[in-house]
Amino acid sequence: MASIEFKNVDFRYNNNKDENILHNVSFKIKEGEFVSIIGGSGCGKSTTLSLLSGLNHASGGDVTIDGKPVTGPGKDRGVVFQHYALFPWMRAKRNVEFGIKQVLKADKKTISEKAEKYLELVGLGGKGDLFPHQLSGGMQQRVAIARLLAMEPDILLMDEPFGAIDAKNRVALQELLLELLEKEEKKRSVVFVTHDIDEAILLSDRILFMRDHEIYRDLKVPFERPRSREEITVSNEYHEFRRELFDLFYDNDIHQQEKADEKQTAKVGRFSIGSAVGAVG
């Protein structure tokens, strides 16, 4: 129902045609698979999601879902953005209800009850009557998550959804997401951007590591489902895998530093040539 494929995808912004934001990105996500994308800031994670959500279009290559090219947003996909994206003029519950209404034709009561249920699941029972500006950043993000889950899309696109959320609720939400996905019969695919290595290991089947606008590594997470945090974190395998990912980040830092240095020397080099020419002239 929801397999995803990126085939040699390039992406450039219209206002900056010289810079490749994504370069030759290829990967496949099977139906029901949970894939995390990690990598340094600015490497193109959010952009990858925006191509999948249909907000941006590939400059080259193909983005397909079930073999059909993505031409725009669709109800088969749901998105939680890196930034809060609630409608400020709707109360928290109305935001969730509005999402549900887009995908479900049902009477008011059903929709209201469903919204209530999901708000409760994300720990915001009783807060439904507040406007977004009356909620903290983390609470707003949880409403956005409730909206996404309540819309029950085939594909969940989540961009650092738990980034702004406090430790306690964060653990609860990770558990909630695992539980919802594992107990359901319908197999949903998830593309999940995160900066948190432990979160990526706990939740995903595979982890894509991006570097320099490319997929640098495609790693399979070595744990079976259903899994629990308690079980996997005590194993040796967990720590080895975690070390591998840390090394990737560490290498990436060195790599970025070297690139920056190179740019610097290139600049200095040009200057010295310029002044040499000037001196000769």
Partner 1 sequence: MMKKFLKKSYIILPHILLAAVLASTALQAEFPKDTTGFTVLSVLLAAVEAALIIRRKKWSAYGITAIVYGLILIWSLYPVINGRESFLFPPPQRISAIFVLDILVILKSIVSSLWLLLLSFVIALILGIGLGMICGKVKRLQNVVMPIARVLSPVPALIYAPYVVAVMPNFTLAALFIITSGLFYPILINVIVTLQHFDPKLRDASDVMGLGLKSTIVNIYLPYCMPSLFNTLAMQISNAFLLLIGAELMGMDSGLGWYVKYNSDFSDYVRVIAGFIVIGMIIAVVNTGLQKLRAKILLWQSAEQ
Ligand X SMILES: Nc1ncnc2c1ncn2[C@@H]1O[C@H](COP(=O)(O)OP(=O)(O)OP(=O)(O)O)[C@@H](O)[C@H]1O
Shortest reach from residue 238's CB to ligand X, in Å: 24
Interaction between residue 77 and partner 1 (CB under 8 A):
yes
- Residue 183 CB: number of other CB atoms within 10 A? 8
Per CB under 6 A, contacts with ligand X among 65-104 are 82
Q: List, as one string, the DSSP characters of 129-176.
A: TS-GGGS-HHHHHHHHHHHHHHH--SEEEEESTTTTS-HHHHHHHHHH
Interaction between residue 138 and partner 1 (CB under 8 A):
no
Residues 6+ apart with CB under 8 A from 192: 34, 35, 36, 37, 156, 158, 161, 200, 203, 204
Shortest reach from residue 72's CB to Mg ion, in Å: 21
Shortest reach from residue 11's CB to ligand X, in Å: 9
Distances (CA, A) of 90 to 72, 100, 102, 204: 25, 14, 15, 33
Interaction between residue 42 and ligand X (CB under 6 A):
yes
How big is the site for partner 1, counted in residues (CB under 8 A)?
Answer: 27
Torsion of CA 187, 74, 138, 238, to 10 degrees: 30
Interaction between residue 18 and ligand X (CB under 6 A):
no
Interaction between residue 47 and ligand X (CB under 6 A):
yes
- Beta carbon nearer to ligand X, 15 or 265: 15
Classify 109 as helix, strand or coil: helix
Interaction between residue 83 and partner 1 (CB under 8 A):
yes
Distances (CA, A) of 2 to 30, 31, 45, 186: 7, 5, 20, 11
Interaction between residue 74 and partner 1 (CB under 8 A):
yes
Which positions touch Mg ion (CB under 5 A)?
46, 82
Among candidates 137, 136, 131, which has minimal Cα distance to 163?
137
Interaction between residue 79 and partner 1 (CB under 8 A):
yes
Judged by CB under 6 A, the residue of 24, 46, 59, 64 near ligand X is 46
Shortest reach from residue 228's CB to ligand X, in Å: 28
Interaction between residue 45 and ligand X (CB under 6 A):
yes
Binding residues (CB under 8 A) for partner 1: these are 53-55, 72-75, 77-79, 81, 83-91, 98-99, 102, 131-134
